[in-house]
Structure 1
Amino acid sequence: MRSLRSSGPAEPSAKSLRAARMRPGDVLRVGATGLRTRPLRAWLSALGIAIGIAAMIAVVGISSSSRAELDRQLAALGTNLLTVTPGTSMMSGEVGVLPYEAVSMIGRIAPVTQVAATGVVPDVSVYRSDRIPEGQSGGMTVCAAELNLLDTVGAALADGVWLNEATSQYPAVVLGSSAAEQLGVTGAGVDVYIGGQWFSVVGVLEPVALAPELNLTALIGWESAAAYLAFDGHATTVYTRAEDAYVLDVANVLAATADPSAPDEMSVSRPSDALEAQQAVDSAFTGMLLGLGAVALLVGGVGVANTMVISVLERRSEIGLRRSLGATRGQVRVQFLAESLLLSALGGLGGVLIGTMVTVGYASSQGWPAVVPYWASVGGVGATLFIGAVAGLYPAIRASRLSPTEALAAQ
């Protein structure tokens, strides 16, 4: 009896059962085998994921780079610039006039650090030649400018020099960037025709971010405007710099200080608010583009699920053979889930790389600092793994439920 019992099949020990479990390295090898045997299908499925992730990374990266550039500009130019311009009278409907003393009165406000004015010279246009018809002025404006205007608005010269004590008394002009472009002027040393008088171009401005109205303007000295163009001496725009901590306080008293008799007819604005509003618009636009990227990512996930379902159908014999050799349902599930996760991880990493390259290329072409938030890269890969897990769950379960006889008989 003892010999008969010893000749029967041995019961599996706990040690042998533990040895049958798949280690992480085995899972990766088995999962990668399915991808290597069908490289084209795997590549196309990963590409679908990569496009979605690349779109999201590029949108976030370009938006972040744009914001970084805007923050850099605001840090350089400052957000403490205020402007005062005459508004429209509610009684008469006419545009108000700044008093002659407006600039000096504003300069007496304690937190004000800089103040400069420009005054529009009416009915005067700028031409490249005295033979150009008067109607073809190109919308350019001629303004008298105080000598400290350049520092007050944070402008810079692209060529030449700014007005000084000497040139402000003679027919000399500094052109805004857009005005110079329209006139075909690339630098100082040429003459332009203003109000029946030839003026020498002594400088050309870079684009002025906080005072874009100066870009399409020809700026001449206050004295020369009065001497050659019959300028009446009234300022039309006063640019004011205040201490950062008191910007709002200065803005509240600026209109009444500029014109105590009619403060309601004065308009006070903060040019940096326009840039910050633009940043808010960019953020909303970024949200919309991120939604489109998420749709692309979802489409890529559907592609992964489709690939895995087809893989299960095509590999029934392999599944049946593995089950016949002792593979458990859990091991089959892990195999196909691992394939799905590897496929998604490849697409996610490729998408992050492509999106980063697009961001760096575009930011470099615009002269911006390239910024790709780390959370976008980590979140992108994490999103692909989540989608891969969801997309591969059903095919993995379906594969594990195939019985060995059913799978082998299907071939």
Structure 2
Amino acid sequence: MKIRDLWDESLAGTMARPVRSALTTLGTVLGIGTLVITLGIAATAGNQIVGRFDELTATSVSVDVPLDNADPLVGWGALTRVTRLRGVTSAVALAQGSLSANLQVRSNALNDPTQVAAQTLSVVVASPEVPEVTRGTLLKGRFFDAGHVRRRDRVVVLGEEAARMLGISRLEDAPAVYIAGRFYTVIGVLGALHREPALATAVIAPSSLAREFGLRDPTRVLINTSLGAADLIAGQAPQALSPGRGDQLTVTSPPSPKRASQGAQSDVNSLFLILGLVSLVVGAVGIANVTLVTVMERVPEIGLRRSLGAARRHIAAQFLLESSMIGLAGGVVGASIGTLGVVGVSAVKQWTPVLDVRLAVAAPVVGALVGLLAGLYPALRAARMEPVDALR
């Protein structure tokens, strides 16, 4: 049998049942399309995740101050020295200790049996730069400033969850909270904290009130840096905060952005690759099932061709080529739909699409291979039929 004759026979067999061939091709379309879409979206989303990781995590430096020092290592005024460092965009000093970690806080002085009398919350003393450094949003009111600190005003800002727990939803009437029996006016509610999310359940007070909560000096300094300056600031910040004693401070700097971004992108790609391969296996099973049914329906044809001199290899080659052609067609259509899907999702999300040209080119080949493997068992079964049994 010549290759051209084999091709004509395979093409005729495929087109003899166009509806069934189209349904079989749909399985490969879904598999290849899912593979291209998942890998393309994984690369695109990974690119976005990496960019956000670099902008947020890789610009954050934290300095912890030991509490067991009679002579303070870091004062509240040390922030001015840190903010003068080149590469520092913002910094805030926080103070929190065991005495301020679990305090009874209630929103009014009335005993209402239908309401919870008090909540156990943490009180964090901070400098006025908290919203900027934590990238938080003031949901209501305002944050305290240098004037409140200078006048020693008895004001506090609640985290979003702390306000909800205390039942404070409006600030027009200047609500108050009572902490350890002392009165403080609530001037703001802070939420959407991208850094230090624990502040959402805390009461934030100015540094001028530190001693009222058993605190004195900062226990932690949070620093935001320009992109790429975190390593440099991590080395300079301790000496700027506590000249001559910076080695007693503990600095936490972000990991290498390049290594972290590569790891995140690799994990995302691996996950979506597995999903795409599973979908591809589903398409292969569909091709195998339909090809097997086709073999069983074409038993008289197989018997007639064998009786006219067709060898086993001719029968096997015909069915293998038919299943490969179906897989090839599915790969071409699936790659096209997948590419359009990636571009469409990127346009809706306003992302920059990331497409691997090699994947789009290899998709039809993969589809043909899937079709070839899926048709292997049905082709062998057809080749093993004896002419007499098939004709009977």
Normalised by the length of structure 2, the TM-score is 0.69
What residue is the counterpart of 1:316 in the other structure?
299
1:127 aligns with 2:106: yes
Query: Shift of residue 232 of structure 1?
Result: 4.4
Q: Does 1:193 align with 2:177?
A: yes
CA distance in 1, matches of 2:329, 2:3: 29
Please list, as runs of the form range in 1=range in 2, the aligned pairs for 1:223-234 lying within 5 A after superposition: 223=208, 225-226=209-210, 229=212, 232-234=215-217
Aligned residue number for residue 235 of structure 1: 218
**Distance 1:343-1:54 versus aligned 2 partners, 3 A rule:** closer
Q: State the 1:308 CA deviation.
A: 1.8
Instruction: Return the alpha-carbon distance in structure 1 between the equivalents of residues 30 and 309 of structure 2.
Output: 40
- Would you say 1:150 and 2:135 are equivalent positions? no
Residue 217 (1) aligns with residue 189 (2) = no
* Aligned 8 A contact 1:152 1:239 in 2: yes
For each residue in 1:295-354, what CA deviation from the matched residue of structure 2 results, as whole angstroms up to 9, or x when unmatched? 553354244234323422321223455678999976983565234542675499579969
- Answering whether residue 365 of structure 2 is matched by residue 389 of structure 1, we say no
RMSD: 5.0
> Residues 10-409 of structure 1: matches in 2 within 5 Å?
22=7, 30-34=13-17, 36-37=19-20, 42=23, 47=27, 60=39, 63-64=42-43, 67-71=46-50, 73-74=52-53, 77=56, 79-87=58-66, 98-100=73-75, 102-120=78-96, 122-123=99-100, 124-130=103-109, 131=111, 132=116, 136-137=119-120, 140-167=121-148, 169-186=152-169, 188-189=171-172, 191-195=175-179, 196-223=181-208, 225-226=209-210, 229=212, 232-260=215-243, 263-270=246-253, 280=263, 283-284=266-267, 287=270, 290-291=273-274, 293-295=276-278, 297-298=280-281, 300-320=283-303, 333-334=317-318, 337-342=321-326, 345-346=329-330, 373-375=354-356, 378=360, 383-393=366-376, 395-396=378-379, 399=382, 406=387, 409=390
- Aligned pair in 2 of structure 1 residues 19, 266: CA closer, same or farther (>3 Å)? closer
Deviation, structure 1 residue 33: 3.3
Gaps of 5+ in 2: none
Give the residue type in structure 2 aligned to 1:112: V
Return the offset for 1:51: 7.0
In structure 1, what residue type is equivalent to 2:137?
A
* Bigger radius of gyration: 1
Distance 1:322 1:158, change over 3 A: farther
Query: What are the ranges of 5 or more consecutive residues in structure 1 without an aligned counterpart?
Result: 1-16
Residues 323 and 177 of structure 1, relative CA distance in 2, 3 Å threshold: farther
**Aligned in 2, Cα 1:19/1:149: closer, same or farther, shift over 3 Å?**
closer
Query: 1:86·1:95 contact (CA, 8 Å) conserved in 2?
Result: no
Which string of whole-angstrom CA distances, capped at 9 and with x for unpartnered residues, describes residues 247-281 of structure 1? 2122123334434565454221236879x869846
Distance 1:217 1:117, change over 3 A: same
- 1:166-212 Cα shifts (integer Å, max 9, x gaps): 55543333333333344444564462524134444333333222332
